[in-house]
Amino acid sequence: MNAETFSKRYCQGQHEQVWTELLALGEKVRAEPYLAQAQAVARETMARAATNVGRIFNRLQEVGFHFALPDLAYNPPPDKIPHQLAELEELAGPLPLSLRAWYEAVGSVCFMGEYPDVAAYAAGPFSQAPDLYSDPLVVFPLDYALSAVRDRFEDGAGEILLPVAPDVYHKANVSGGAPYEIRLPDTAADARLLNEPHELFFVPYLRLAFQWAGFPGLAGAPDRPSTLIDLLASKLLTL
């Protein structure tokens, strides 16, 4: 594995292959000659993710999507992110490079809400009960995740699980299971999302989410609004 080629190959379009190789390094990715290149790949990946989130957010607004939590629908990273990341890693140890880069470049997103054939939300203004669990893209704000980690330390929890998003049922405002979480510390390039139905790592989950315009649960839906999804996902960047 030639570390010097990771960033170059990623920018040339070898996205999945580069991330597969970085993940295979395990904790070795934290040392040179790999670390600087891996961080560059993570930053470029999440810069692309930020572009995609912004485009989907704008298009959802244009089509009249009803956000369940409009103030949380999309918030770029606040100025305090570096201090929060430092505190989080002091408490729980290293974050995977992918998630750290997300917080630095993207911030938080919450596409929970309602729109015909795209998303449902219990007790919302347009529906009586969810008939669709489309797993809208959500990544909690870092201050929420940091607060959860602080609580685990105060409770004396032996295992640190960082909450990333609600599960597919809570995203539809229905009682469900445990949230999507990442176990910390994690010294690898990427981490598995615990409790995610496909058992995906974070970056592959984002790929699936963007493939379906922010609603990856539609991949298994019998009636897919292909024309609308094509519109919402138009010109998104590959990760």
From 136, 168, 150, select the one nearest 72 (Cα to Cα). Answer: 136
d(CA 99, CA 239): 14
pLDDT of residue 27: 96
Q: What confidence tens digit (pLDDT) does each residue in 32-81 have?
A: 999 999 999 999 999 999 999 999 999 999 999 999 999 999 999 999 99
Q: What confidence tens digit (pLDDT) does each residue in 149-184 have?
A: 888 877 766 778 999 999 999 999 988 889 999 999
Q: Is the model's pTM score more than 0.85? A: yes
Identify the residue whose tokens are 């229905």: 174
d(CA 103, CA 113): 23
Compute φ and ψ for 70, nearest 5 degrees.
-60, -30
For the cut 70, the answer to whether the pLDDT of residue 1 exceeds it is no
Q: What is the full DSSP assignment across 132-152?
A: ------EE--HHHHHHHHHHH
Q: Work out the pLDDT band at 223, boundaries 50, 70, 90.
A: confident
Q: What confidence tens digit (pLDDT) does each residue in 107-130 have?
A: 999 999 999 889 989 875 555 456
